[in-house]
């Protein structure tokens, strides 16, 4: 069939009938299907340490549901200033002893002395934890982050400190939309490079909703000579009304189209969760179509959306291998 090429842009003054819009407007490619033989992507899952017994049950249900997907690692967040120290440690230790999963412990340095942070890192090493997600953290309650007088000021300093303690695998945070406190995008990228130069081998991004934002960020990383994995952080969002404040704090913009998709779903959790799954599925498929083969999921300790999206990515459950029992 011989199509006349469509004009570069369609008139926007009046709404067009569907067929006319299709014939004259910009054309979009469909979401591509995964090609046969394409390798299955590597996943990692993030959990937060539970505060109550009920949340503990929820977390462990989530861990058990996601364990058969054989993620590369699972990470457990850490309250800045040590507010979740015991709970993060307990969760990570239980993952080591009771599951087949490889844990990564988040560790923040804000509002703590070097000695405190180093003691925690040493405890993790002694407990068999070999992967740390090294972060500065934020001061509880917001406000300006003043470094502890005897502490590590920034995540890059923490990475260097961890390297001196043991041969940890170290991941760090990256911000496709620039960290809110960064002086400039260039400074923020320099900071990422400092973290990698100090010994980190992977960056995990803050969540984002515009796929192009992340892909442009990859371009900027590459132009700056950064070639380690910059793993996209995917957050399936079903509680849209609470997203705005949370996203703004971490420097993630919420596109207007997302608000339109969730419009009118405030009292309908079922629809909200379906919309959330579709948004996240489109996002990961677009990323996958652009060659991304590693994904980090902010699970919020709920397995269903992550499970469904992992399935769409081509990941299938495996029977976990028997755990080796120390002699």
Ligand X SMILES: Cc1cc2nc3c(=O)[nH]c(=O)nc-3n(C[C@H](O)[C@H](O)[C@H](O)COP(=O)(O)OP(=O)(O)OC[C@H]3O[C@@H](n4cnc5c(N)ncnc54)[C@H](O)[C@@H]3O)c2cc1C
Interaction of residue 179 with ligand X, rule CB under 6 A:
yes
Are the C-beta atoms of residues 306 and 297 closer than 8 Å to each other? yes
Site for ligand X in 41-80 (CB under 6 A): 77-78, 80
Of the candidates 231, 243, 245, the one whose C-alpha atom is nearest the C-alpha of residue 292 is: 231
Nearer to ligand X, 7 or 140 (CB): 140
In the list 155, 196, 252, 281, the residue contacting ligand X (rule: CB under 6 A) is 155
188: number of Cβ within 10 Å: 20
In the list 89, 106, 273, 285, the residue contacting ligand X (rule: CB under 6 A) is 106
User: x/- string (CB under 6 A) for ligand X, residues 211-250?
Assistant: ----------------------x----------------x
Interaction of residue 146 with ligand X, rule CB under 6 A:
no
Nearer to ligand X, 63 or 155 (CB): 155
Shortest separation between residue 103's beta carbon and ligand X, angstroms: 13
Are the C-beta atoms of residues 205 and 232 closer than 8 Å to each other? yes
Are the C-beta atoms of residues 159 and 200 closer than 8 Å to each other? yes
DSSP, residue by residue, 43-67: EEEEE---SSHHHHHHHHHHHHHHG
3-state secondary structure of 149: coil
Of the candidates 212, 179, 174, the one whose C-alpha atom is nearest the C-alpha of residue 194 is: 174
Span from 9-17, 19-27, 113-121, 174-182 in contact with ligand X (CB under 6 A): 174-182
Are the C-beta atoms of residues 49 and 56 closer than 8 Å to each other? no
Interaction of residue 173 with ligand X, rule CB under 6 A:
yes
Active site annotation includes 46: yes
Span from 53-61, 91-99, 185-193, 304-312 in contact with ligand X (CB under 6 A): 185-193
Interaction of residue 177 with ligand X, rule CB under 6 A:
no
Catalytic residue among 20, 35, 46, 146: 46
Q: Under 8 Å CB-to-CB from 255, ≥6 apart: which residues?
A: 209, 210
CA 133 to centroid of chain Cα atoms: 12
Compute the C-alpha angle 120/121/124, nearest 5°.
90
Interaction of residue 131 with ligand X, rule CB under 6 A:
no
Are the C-beta atoms of residues 32 and 289 closer than 8 Å to each other? yes
In the list 95, 121, 135, 237, the residue contacting ligand X (rule: CB under 6 A) is 135
Compute the C-alpha angle 167/171/172, nearest 5°.
130
Site for ligand X in 187-206 (CB under 6 A): 187-188, 191, 195, 204, 206
Are the C-beta atoms of residues 46 and 75 closer than 8 Å to each other? yes
Nearer to ligand X, 239 or 250 (CB): 250
Beta strand 42-47 with 169-174: parallel, antiparallel or unpaired?
unpaired
Nearer to ligand X, 47 or 262 (CB): 47
Question: Residues touching ligand X: how many (CB under 6 A)?
Answer: 25
Interaction of residue 307 with ligand X, rule CB under 6 A:
no
Catalytic residue IDs = 46
Q: Residues in the site for ligand X, rule: CB under 6 A?
A: 77-78, 80, 106, 108, 133, 135-138, 154-156, 173, 179, 181-182, 187-188, 191, 195, 204, 206, 233, 250
């Amino acid at each position: 069939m011989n199509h006349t090429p469509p004009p570069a842009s369609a008139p926007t003054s009046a709404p067009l009938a569907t067929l006319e819009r299709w014939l004259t407007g910009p054309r979009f490619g469909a979401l591509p299907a995964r090609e046969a033989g394409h390798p299955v992507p590597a996943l990692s899952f993030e959990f937060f340490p539970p505060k109550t017994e009920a949340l503990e049950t929820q977390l462990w249900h989530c861990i058990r549901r996601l364990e058969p997907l054989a993620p590369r690692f699972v990470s457990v967040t850490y309250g800045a200033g040590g507010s979740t120290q015991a709970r993060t440690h307990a969760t990570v230790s239980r993952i080591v002893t009771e599951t087949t999963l490889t844990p990564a412990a988040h560790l923040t340095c804000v509002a703590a002395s070097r000695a405190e942070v180093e003691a925690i890192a040493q405890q993790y090493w002694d407990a068999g934890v070999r992967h740390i997600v090294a972060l500065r953290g934020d001061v509880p309650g917001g406000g300006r982050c003043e470094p502890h007088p005897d502490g590590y000021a920034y995540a890059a300093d923490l990475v260097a400190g961890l390297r001196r303690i043991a041969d940890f695998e170290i991941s760090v945070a990256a911000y496709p939309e620039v960290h809110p406190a960064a002086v400039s995008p260039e400074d923020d990228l320099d900071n990422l490079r400092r973290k990698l130069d100090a010994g980190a081998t992977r960056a995990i991004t803050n969540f984002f909703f515009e796929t192009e934002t992340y892909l442009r960020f990859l371009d900027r990383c590459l132009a700056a000579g950064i070639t380690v994995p910059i793993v996209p952080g995917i957050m399936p969002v079903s509680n849209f009304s609470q997203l705005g404040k949370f996203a703004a704090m971490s420097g993630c913009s919420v596109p207007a189209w997302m608000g339109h998709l969730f419009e009118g779903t405030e009292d309908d959790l079922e629809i909200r969760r379906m919309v959330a799954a579709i948004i996240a599925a489109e996002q990961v498929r677009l990323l996958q179509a652009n060659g991304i083969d590693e994904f980090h999921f902010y699970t919020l300790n709920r397995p269903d959306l992550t499970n469904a999206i992992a399935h769409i990515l081509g990941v299938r459950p495996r029977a976990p291998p028997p755990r080796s029992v120390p002699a």
